[in-house]
Amino acid sequence: MKVVVDMSKCQHYGQCCFEAEDVFQLDDDGKLVHAAEADESRRSDVESAADVCPMQAITIE
C-alpha cells in the first residue's frame, strides 16, 4: 500500500512514529521522513498512525 503524508499539513508531532516506527521516523532535525510504500502486513499499524495524526495529514492508498 501507498503511504501519503500531506507535508503542507504535517507539523512533525511524531505521533505516527510511535505507531509504526519502521514506516515513519523523525530525522535529526525533528522533521518527518516516511516510507512511500509499506507492506500490506503493516496496514493495521499504519492505519493507527493515520488515525492518531494530530493534523490528520496521513492517507493510505
8 forms part of the interface with other proteins (CB under 8 A): no
39 forms part of the interface with other proteins (CB under 8 A): no
21 forms part of the interface with other proteins (CB under 8 A): yes
Assigned C-alpha cell, 24: 515513519
Number of chain positions touching other proteins (CB under 8 A): 18
Q: How far is the CB of 37 from other proteins (least distance, A)?
A: 20
Nearest to 20 by CA among 1, 52, 48: 48
22 forms part of the interface with other proteins (CB under 8 A): no
Q: Among 7, 33, 39, 54, which residue interacts with other proteins (rule: CB under 8 A)?
A: 54
Q: Concatenate the DSSP letters of all residues of 13-50 into one string.
A: --HHHHH-TTTEEE-TTS-EEE-SB--GGGHHHHHHHH
